Structure 1
Amino acid sequence: MLKVLIADDEYFIRQRLKKIIDWDELSLEFIGEAENGKEVINKIKNNQVDILLLDIKMPIKSGIQVAEYIMVNDIKTKIIILTGYNDFDYAQKAVKYKVEDYLVKPINKKTLNEALNTCKETILKVNEKQQKIYDYNKFQKRTNIYNTILDFNNVKKLYKEYKEFNNYEYVQFIGIFFPGNHDIYVASFINYLLRNINKFNNENISIESFKENESVSILQLIIKSQDAITLNNIKSVISHFITDTNVVFISIGDIIPIGKNWTKNYKLVWNQLYQRYFINDNMIISNKLKPNNKYKSIAIRKKLLLCLNSKNNNALKKLINDIFTNISKSGSKDYLILSLTEIFVTLQINYPDQVNSNKSINSFVQELIAEDYSLEHLKEIVFTYTDQCLEYVNHEKPSNTSMVSKIIKYIEENYTDPSLSVSEISNYIDLTPTYIGSIFKKVTGQSILQYITELRMDHAKKLLRTDKYNITEISQMVGYSDVFYFSKKFKKIHGCSPKNFS
């Protein structure tokens, strides 16, 4: 609600004005009154005042002097002059000081409310325009920072374009894996970091956040000085924040000089998030944990086919358990990918109807491990596929098809909600996220999150073709609160940015 201050040296006029204004209908809030020009200036200095109803003749400082003060100090308050004098000279001065309207006493209720409504609409239009400019500049800045992270630009270019970077000496990357209400969690996490790390050295850091997929964000901490901030400080602060949840995994990179290449540290933090599959903790610091690459290889393809073709369910379960035991012992993301790729390539070649993927197996596996949290969940997914292969039929079970149809209908009804997640859908279906995810992927060839993303992007294309909305509005209309992330996903799927789409 816009805030209104009433300034007139006559008490009864102030009371009448308060009474005849349609506050609720106009969505305006009364925040106070003043009886002289000096009092008005003091209230404007100490409070947000959007609209000032200002008597032109007041003691100590006149209304014209107040209007001059507001203009000279570039204060955004809009002024409606109230006067008992229908004098051209007063009107001329009012125009000079950019007064919005000029009302002659006695003031009619309808005239006053119309003037207030017009003034309100002017303010809202200015605010909307300023917000668009702010959003665009923020988007451009984040794009330039992200391009520097990916080594497309160098830091010196940022120094030239954004002078504030000259005040900072260090950077650090922090990776966050959190499924579910990811955006809400990350926003809370950032606020917590700013409050608690800055207390070591007031206003020492700023934070940029880059959402990489529906479960992963990479934070960049930009640090003024390292006097009171160490890895141990940061570890301590983060540990307190993540105590209450067991579905989050945080990777913490080194604190490096800001002029040093960022890409290596960014990639390190990204890759370390995959250690969530191999360690019994929900946080990893720097590159302290080295994976054990001396793993025992299993001839997966031949053994898997033997178990499936012989319909030996016990042998199949033992084989998969052995595979995942070796994956766990290896501590290696690469071995995890290799093993899952071997499993799904074997299934796709020999049971194509049971692994209905419209993407390469490599992409299928990469997306699988990017979305999940534990080896146990991945093992459950593999069991789901192999069980279906054991009971191979030429068509999907009606129950599976029916469940997937129900999920798709729910997504289509709720895709505009930024908080839509697999967890929310699983609550609606009343089955575990892992189970509905594996069945959905088996029937449709893509994960639930992929389906949501592609649906949103298809609708974004249609909205872009109308030329009615800007990119920020379209982003919000298809369920993305972060326009930078929306643009990145759109470009990945459609090959060009929303701005260049036609």
Structure 2
Amino acid sequence: MQLNIIIADDEYFIRQRIIKIIPQEELDIHFIGEAENGIEVLELLRQHPVDLILLDIKMPRMNGIEVAESVYRNYPSTKIILLSGYNDFEYARSAMRFGVMDYLLKPVDASTLIAVLKDTKEKIELLKKQQKQIQKYYHFEKCTFLSNVLNGCQSIEQLTARYPEVSAYDYTLYLGAFIYEENEDFISELAAKIRRHGLDCEYFKELDYAYTIQFFLHKKEERQKLKEVLDNDMPKCSSYTFLALGDCIPLTESWLPDYKKKSLRP
């Protein structure tokens, strides 16, 4: 797993030394950017996915503790290693409550930094695997519930009680996909791309080569937005793919008719 890192220190030469002593290829590390103050750290986080921040405790505009608290509340998957001077070491330890994974005394020793990075990377990889398993379980549980509603085994009221976020939508529709190979990664990537365009959806497998994606819309006009995404931002697929897009139906009506009448298009 590649680790995306930000280095944040108000001293340019310290940042450059840290970059120089880290074996990027050996640890599979990618430097997202540098920051000389806390505001720049948060700006980089808004623009890029970041796994780890090497964060100086004393910086202008926002100090390391303030940045750590903001990251903890807004970017919980991003982890932090604090860099502190001798007089701030106890202060740095207090930041552990904000999910700081480790802290190092400046000037940073190369062998110590590399060892801490290796250990931190292993911990981040484990956390990501655990989170992925949780997401898989949540996905399976929700799709099972949606299937039960489709087949009349459970009601819309039960669905919205279990998943309150669904009650914010007024319409649903189905997209069927048939792929001439076993390729759940394509469907997963397609669903992720559609979500990035602001459309909520869940996908589930019907048969070995057939999948269904169910969408939840605030208004019927969002169907056109979905079509534009399908026309212009489809992930690459090595095999023929056929899509079947249904019509918008009110969320509170039976979903079965729309589910059955999707029309195929390549």
TM-score range normalised by the length of the shorter chain? 0.7 to 0.9
Tell me the percent identity: 38
Match of 1:24 in 2: 25
TM-aligned CA distance change 1:251 to 1:110, over 3 Å: closer
Instruction: Give 1:269's aligned amino acid.
Output: K
Hey, what's the Cα distance between the residues in 1 that align with 2:82 and 2:110?
15
TM-aligned CA distance change 1:208 to 1:255, over 3 Å: same
1:278-330 CA-to-partner distances (Å, cap 9, x unmatched) read: xxxx66xxxxxxxxxxxxxxxxxxxxxxxxxxxxxxxxxxxxxxxxxxxxxxx
The answer to whether the 8 Å contact 1:151/1:262 transfers is no
Hey, what's the Cα distance between the residues in 2 that align with 1:166 and 1:104?
51
| Correspondence 1:216-365 to 2 at 5 A | 216-227=210-221, 229=223, 255-266=248-259, 268-269=260-261
CA-CA distance at 1:114 after TM superposition: 0.5
1:79-110 CA-to-partner distances (Å, cap 9, x unmatched) read: 22223315553244333444222222332211
CA-CA distance at 1:131 after TM superposition: 1.3
Hey, what's the Cα distance between the residues in 2 that align with 1:116 and 1:15?
17
Q: Which runs of 5+ in 2 are unaligned?
A: 235-239
Is 2:1 aligned against 1:7?
Answer: no
Hey, what's the Cα distance between the residues in 1 that align with 2:159 and 2:166?
7
TM-aligned CA distance change 1:52 to 1:184, over 3 Å: closer
Match of 2:63 in 1: 62
TM-aligned CA distance change 1:30 to 1:206, over 3 Å: closer
| Correspondence 1:385-400 to 2 at 5 A | none
Q: Which moved more, 1:128-137 or 1:178-187?
A: 178-187
Match of 2:237 in 1: none
Instruction: Give 2:219's aligned amino acid.
Output: S
Q: Which runs of 5+ in 1 are unaligned?
A: 196-201, 242-246, 274-281, 284-502
TM-aligned CA distance change 1:229 to 1:40, over 3 Å: closer
1:227-266 CA-to-partner distances (Å, cap 9, x unmatched) read: 5759xx97xx89xx9xxxxx87776655433222233554
The answer to whether the 8 Å contact 1:51/1:79 transfers is yes
TM-aligned CA distance change 1:252 to 1:189, over 3 Å: farther
SS across alignment from 1:100: strand
Match of 1:324 in 2: none
Which of 205, 213, 216 lines up with 1:211 in the alignment? 205
- The structure carrying a bigger helix percent of its residues is 1
* TM-score of the pair, normalised by structure 1: 0.43
The answer to whether the 8 Å contact 1:206/1:222 transfers is yes
Match of 2:181 in 1: 181
SS across alignment from 2:253: coil
Match of 1:52 in 2: 53
| Correspondence 1:437-448 to 2 at 5 A | none
The answer to whether the 8 Å contact 1:175/1:269 transfers is no
Number of residues paired by the alignment? Answer: 253
TM-aligned CA distance change 1:186 to 1:262, over 3 Å: farther
The answer to whether the 8 Å contact 1:179/1:214 transfers is no
Instruction: Give 1:226's aligned amino acid.
Output: K
The answer to whether the 8 Å contact 1:190/1:207 transfers is no
RMSD: 3.8
CA-CA distance at 1:145 after TM superposition: 0.5
- The structure carrying a bigger strand percent of its residues is 2
CA-CA distance at 1:129 after TM superposition: 1.4
The answer to whether the 8 Å contact 1:174/1:269 transfers is no
Hey, what's the Cα distance between the residues in 2 that align with 1:185 and 1:104?
43
Greater relative contact order structure (CA < 8 Å, 6+ sep): 2
Instruction: Give 1:263's aligned amino acid.
Output: L
Match of 1:80 in 2: 81
SS across alignment from 2:172: strand
CA-CA distance at 1:190 after TM superposition: 5.8
TM-aligned CA distance change 1:12 to 1:152, over 3 Å: same
TM-aligned CA distance change 1:251 to 1:70, over 3 Å: closer
1:100-139 CA-to-partner distances (Å, cap 9, x unmatched) read: 2222233221111001111111211221111111111111
Instruction: Give 1:113's aligned amino acid.
Output: I
Instruction: Give 1:262's aligned amino acid.
Output: W
TM-aligned CA distance change 1:225 to 1:41, over 3 Å: closer
CA-CA distance at 1:142 after TM superposition: 0.3
The answer to whether the 8 Å contact 2:176/2:210 transfers is yes
Hey, what's the Cα distance between the residues in 1 that align with 2:135 and 2:28?
25
1:199-232 CA-to-partner distances (Å, cap 9, x unmatched) read: xxx85x54444433234444444343235759xx
